[in-house]
Chains A and B, each alone.
Chain A
Amino acid sequence: MVDETKSQKPRVGVYICHCGTNIAGSIDIKELQDFAQTIPNVVLADEYQYMCSTPGQKKIEDAIKEHGLTGIVVAACSPRLHEPTFRTASKEGGLNPFRFEMANIREQNSWVHMHDRQGATDKAKDALKMAVAKASLLEDLFPKSVPVEHSAMVVGAGVGGIQAALDLASSGIKTYLIEKAPTIGGRMSQLDKTFPTLDCSQCILTPKMVDVGRHPNIELMTYTEVEKVEGYIGNFDITLRKKARGVLTPTEAETRGIVGGGCNGCGDCEQVCPVIKPNPFEMGMAPRKAIYIYHPQVVPLIYTVDFDSCVKCGLCVEACGEKKAIDLEQEDEFVTVKVGTAVLAVGYELFPVEKKTEWGYKRYDNVITSLEFERLICASGPTGGKVIRPSDGETPKKIGFVLCAGSRDNTGIGKPYCSRFCCMYSLKHAHQLHEKIPGSQSYLFYMDIRSFGKMYEEFYYRIQDEGAKFIRGRVAKIEEDPITKNPHVLTEDTLLGQPVDIELDMVVLASAVQPTEETNHVRHLFGVSQSMDGWLLEAHPKLNPCGTTTAGVFLAGVCQGPKDIPDTVAQAEGAAAAASIPIHVGEVELEPYFAMCIEEKCAGCGMCVNLCPYSALDLVEKNGRTVMQVTEAKCKGCGTCGGFCPGGAIWMQHFATPQIVAQIDAFLLGGEQ
């Protein structure tokens, strides 16, 4: 606040960027430059083709020294893009980087007023005036360096989360891997084969799952959810809810003084449990007990009690015997861990395709979803890999695959986006069907086959050669023969231009994918935005696809948008690398947008203290008066306190009241006053 340069008259340098024709195409640069020279405090107004280029930045650096500038304004693109660039240039020139201000005349001007040259130029003039007014009042600020905790968290342990955790842990970072289900593995562990190589999904995933289980740097916490997130990059305090599992691990048993006890996964409890429920891992097509594991390869191999269905008969406790692993009175536990960065890999769920009532899913026995088919054809699935019709247990010979089941759907019921992996797994399903059932015939009802990945197009040709039939048309309706229970698929073959009615034994809907309900919950906890379609929003779609707008929080896998296994793993490795950078550097710089109390004005009313969402403000006694005091480490610079203070006693650095009022005045009064 107190600044020796304040006494000196501000000397502002203005630079106008053409950005090729991006700006110069809609705004009269010459007129703008002439105008800039008339703005109070401006000592030089220059223009350049590309201000962000090295010569452009050099102009700023040189002028600061030559003209003794106290402020820099660059009228160019959005500060969200190039503010860091020009701050660095200002710093190189010997000026405090926070004396730089940007006027956005591209994203919020030339690009949105392409056909109104005069309107755009007038708007740019005002933007310049406002930026100069603010730059004249900016002060030296100094970012605060804070140490970064040498640990990371990965939320979600599907293949993306597993890969991110392994990478982080292998680079020497203590990593907490959090999974809400009782086992890790996610969706990939439900699949039979993976396209286009036809690797067995479990065979390539389980080694990674086992690695996670025994990696010395990974603390695996299954059946655990994130409860609360506090802090900021480098210093997140994350509270986790360890849901009551009802079963003790060997380590937990030892802490309770049960030597050699705890669950060893023998399954004796499951044998005696009288409660039967559908197993969600098998898409409800196989039973599980109230004490259960999803499948034999779970990591960790620990049973879980489903307290919603458990009748607490105690038979399992008896069966467990000396191991004393089961505690039916266990309660949820809360633990808080400190981490430097976090990766969110919370995955997806299937779109409830029964909403598309014309296809009759859940009404017709022989219409199933692709994940159900995946479990049916999987050797470890409920039928041991035998494909059967749900209505009568017969082997289906003619199976239809309906692609874009809920994807690319603009009716408002389905999803407008492409789910990106349904084409490929449906081709894989067709192949598996031909392989498993001799003499079978697959029909693929498609809009477009999107086989864009490495070796995908070749796989598509292979399936064509195997004799799969491709019918181009969106399925209008599926009807069931009431006696045979055979579904009839009604569509238009748009290549032949004629309606089609095909009687099949079974139909598989390649359902769209959508964000889970937890995605929204987790995103609120970590302060991550969402795209229009509900997926988590990356910091930049092209140049920062793993980052988010919350520093220190990164994204991996389908939760950021539909993607197949190779893309998920690639993004997970990217997110892990990005998340490890601040940790390995050891410290981060926080933008110094802290609130400060102007003690002479503060009446000690304490309204701001209640408004602060981070408890960064306190009332203290100073010189016999009650005044507010800011804890800078807690303050995130939102300015909610400053927006409310009735006495104007809060100085928001870089967004101070006089600075904002100067912008308003510059716009409306033309910079007078």
Chain B
Amino acid sequence: MTDEWKPKILGIICNWCSYAGADLAGSARTQYPPDIRTIRVMCTGRVDTLFIMKAFANGADGVLVSGCHFGDCHYLEGNFKAAKRMFLIKSVLKNMGIEDKRFRMTFVSASEGAKWAKVVEDVVKTVTELGPSPLKEFRQ
């Protein structure tokens, strides 16, 4: 298993933009690596910092939160309020000794299927380069 390590990446994405964008990537058959598992929420505003910490605590190697572009939020400004929280996550992760690059927030609209594929590709690449999460060993 160790010689073929694949990262475990959690994506939490909003229904109106990024989930729709990810669906569009599918319709267009844009290929990207399969190392991400997504959870659909109505808005990235729903993303509790707890979810991200929980994911890392459970051994996720990377977490991606993706929502609408600023100004495009289906609920006016949920993405903005989420983004403010995400800065907090970054600094907490750093203080815990986890590379903050393992966590990312992106903005992918419902028409940006190709961008979604690029984002996933890039996240997978970044996390793969970083290797398994340091918390994993700790858990054992």
Contacts and interface: CB of A to CB of B under 8 A. Distances in A.
Interface stretch (A102-110, A243-251, A452-460): A102-110
Contacts, number: 159
A669 to B, nearest CB: 5
Given A80-B20, A530-B111, A113 B34 contact: yes
A128 to B, nearest CB: 11
A524 to B, nearest CB: 6
A112 B30 CA distance: 6
Contacts of B110: 529, 537, 549
Contacts of B10: 664, 667-668
Contacts of B85: 643-644
B81 interface: yes
Contacts of A611: 45, 81
Interface string B47-61: 110110011001110
B81 A644 contact: yes
A529 B75 contact: no
Given A593-B42, A639-B46, A669-B58, A122 B34 contact: yes
B90 interface: no
Contact of B37 (A80, A114, A123, A524): A123
A664 B111 contact: no
A432 interface: no
A496 interface: no
A532 interface: yes
A638 B85 CA distance: 16
A549 B24 CA distance: 15
A551 to B, nearest CB: 11
Given A640-B78, A643-B85, A668-B60, A107 B27 contact: yes
B17 interface: yes
Contacts of B38: 104, 108
Interface stretch (A91-99, A329-337, A652-660): A652-660
B64 interface: no
B99 interface: no
Contact of A652 (B27, B31, B46): B46
A116 B34 contact: yes
A113 to B, nearest CB: 4
Interface in B17-41: 17, 19-20, 22-27, 29-35, 37-41
A529 B16 contact: yes
Contacts of A384: none
A77 to B, nearest CB: 9
Contacts of A80: 15, 19-20, 23
Contact of B26 (A78, A636, A668): A78
Nearest to A106: B26
A119 to B, nearest CB: 4
Interface string A609-647: 001011000000000000000000000111110111100
A663 interface: yes
A667 B56 CA distance: 12
Contacts of A112: 25-26, 29-32, 34, 117
Interface range for A:
35 or more
Nearest to A641: B45
A592 to B, nearest CB: 12
Contact of B31 (A114, A550, A639): A114
A437 interface: no
Nearest to A531: B111
B75 to A, nearest CB: 4
A467 interface: no
Nearest to B71: A524
B100 interface: no
A639 B43 contact: yes
Contacts of B20: 80, 549
A115 B117 CA distance: 15
B127 interface: no
B102 interface: no
Contacts of A299: none
B40 A127 contact: no
A111 interface: yes
Contacts of A642: 46, 48
B78 A668 contact: no
B109 interface: yes
A107 B29 CA distance: 8
Contact of A529 (B35, B45, B50, B111): B111
Contacts of A639: 41-43, 45-46, 78
B32 A657 contact: no
Contacts of A637: 42
Contacts of B75: 613-614, 636, 638, 640
Contacts of A655: 41-42, 46
A111 B77 contact: no
B123 interface: no
A638 B15 CA distance: 10
Contact of B27 (A79, A111, A663): A111
B53 to A, nearest CB: 10
Interface in A131-147: none
Given A111-B29, A664-B51, A78 B23 contact: yes
A636 B73 CA distance: 13
A236 to B, nearest CB: 15
A130 B78 contact: no
B109 A638 contact: no
B135 to A, nearest CB: 11
A287 interface: no
A108 to B, nearest CB: 5
Nearest to A667: B37
Contacts of A648: 50
A537 B59 CA distance: 38
Contacts of A640: 43, 45-46, 75, 78, 81-82
5 contacts: A80-B20, A108-B38, A130-B39, A530-B109, A614-B75
- Nearest first, the 8 closest Cβ-Cβ pairs linking A and B are A107-B26, A639-B46, A640-B45, A638-B75, A668-B58, A119-B34, A638-B43, A111-B26
Given A127-B37, A642-B48, 4 more contacts: A78-B23, A108-B26, A613-B78, A643-B85
Interface of B: 8, 10, 15-17, 19-20, 22-27, 29-35, 37-43, 45-48, 50-51, 54-55, 58-60, 68, 71-72, 74-78, 81-82, 85, 109-112, 117
